[in-house]
Chains A and B, each alone.
Chain A
Amino acid sequence: MRRLIFAPHTKLSCFSDGSGVAIYSSYTGDTLMLHSELRDAVMLQSFSALPDFNLTDMQNSLGIDAEEADRVIQYLLDNQLIISAAGC
């Protein structure tokens, strides 16, 4: 499964109530918000601290199904917020 990382020009803010993550891109100047179904702050925190992640990690951290996670990943890729981890 493809390993991904947040692009170097992004900045993440995980909300302490577990409601989700806001991502700022200093490349596009845009902000994007990821909603978490799990509302688990610890889970979000550890997700954002992962050196890299795959579809399953995203599913587990946000509490979404595979199809949804795939859509989110595609959207993040299109908006250049995440990129493939080096060497993959």
Chain B
Amino acid sequence: MQINCGQYRFDLTTTDSAVMRSVQQVYGDALLADAPADFAIGLDPGLWLRRWIKPQVNFRCDQHSPFKPLPSSQAYAVLEWGMNWCIAAHEYSRFLLHAAVLVKNNTAIICPALPGSGKSTLSAYLGLSGWSVYSDEMAVIDIDSRQVLPLFRPVCLKNNSIDLLRSWHPNAVITPVCRDTQKGDVAHVKVLSWEHYQQLIPVPISAVVFPKYKHDTELVIYQLDQLDAFGQLSRNAFNYNVLGETAFDIVAALVSNAGLYQVEYSELTELAQFFDELVQP
């Protein structure tokens, strides 16, 4: 079956019916025009002995398996991570930052993925309240225009945020929870309909925000200096090293032109308000 993520297409081979159901849930409304796929991927059952004792799933990108096999109950999460891996390991025609991309008024805010940033919860929250989530993991930046491109992907929720999101949005489309993955319990929530995705266009980045979740704190906003932001962004890019000078130029332009902030927050509503101010036309 084909998975259409907008910028990338995957040709998936699997016999796991639970995975196929989740794929249908998340990507089912995407148009499958007659276009070539970028990657041939597969979820294979592990080795023969393993099919009965602790069944495993092995992600395959064409003829290679980048990860060690994982329990088959985590198959859908493995698929989503595997798709990220395919893009990150092969894409050098665009600049890839490990960051969430949140868009409103045709302006993007990117949140680099530092541990403890809570960017996925934030992405899901904003995605279901009027913002367009271009990605919760990967900012895909066009090298020539330096604008960020939309991806048609779900947001990866972890642990408590799964129930939290369910309580905010009882009707949200969420895949079954994969328990005890290397990141804890994981589920994917759909934040874009294909109809909505098709309206999205490449947009400029107006702010880089490094959020930090801190229990019981007021919203505190620090201005970040360009040198620090440069360091953080270049370290958080998937292909900075391969793109070399091209990436250097993009990051240098980004920190010169965008607002740079570090934010401590405990209430998502307060953070959302700040984000709204950042994208006022």
B248 partner residues in chain A, CB cutoff 8 A: 11, 13, 22, 24, 31
Q: Chain B contact residues: over half helix, strand or loop, or mixed?
A: helix
**Bound: A39/B228 CA distance, A:** 13
Q: How many A-B residue pairs have CB under 8 A?
A: 43
Known: A15-B227, A21-B227, A33-B230. 20 other contacts (CB 8 A): A11-B245, A13-B230, A15-B256, A16-B256, A17-B225, A17-B226, A19-B227, A19-B228, A20-B225, A22-B227, A22-B248, A22-B252, A24-B245, A24-B248, A26-B244, A26-B245, A29-B244, A31-B240, A33-B231, A35-B227
**Bound: A29/B239 CA distance, A:** 12
Chain A residue at smallest Cβ distance from B256: A16
State the 3 A-B residue pairs at the shortest beta-carbon distance, nearest first: A19-B225, A15-B226, A19-B227
Chain B residue at smallest Cβ distance from A21: B227
Residue from B227, B231, B248, B256 with most neighbouring chain A CB atoms (10 Å): B227
**Bound: A36/B225 CA distance, A:** 11
**Bound: A81/B244 CA distance, A:** 15
**Bound: A36/B230 CA distance, A:** 14
Given contacts A11-B245, A11-B248, A31-B234, contact A20 B227 (CB under 8 A): yes
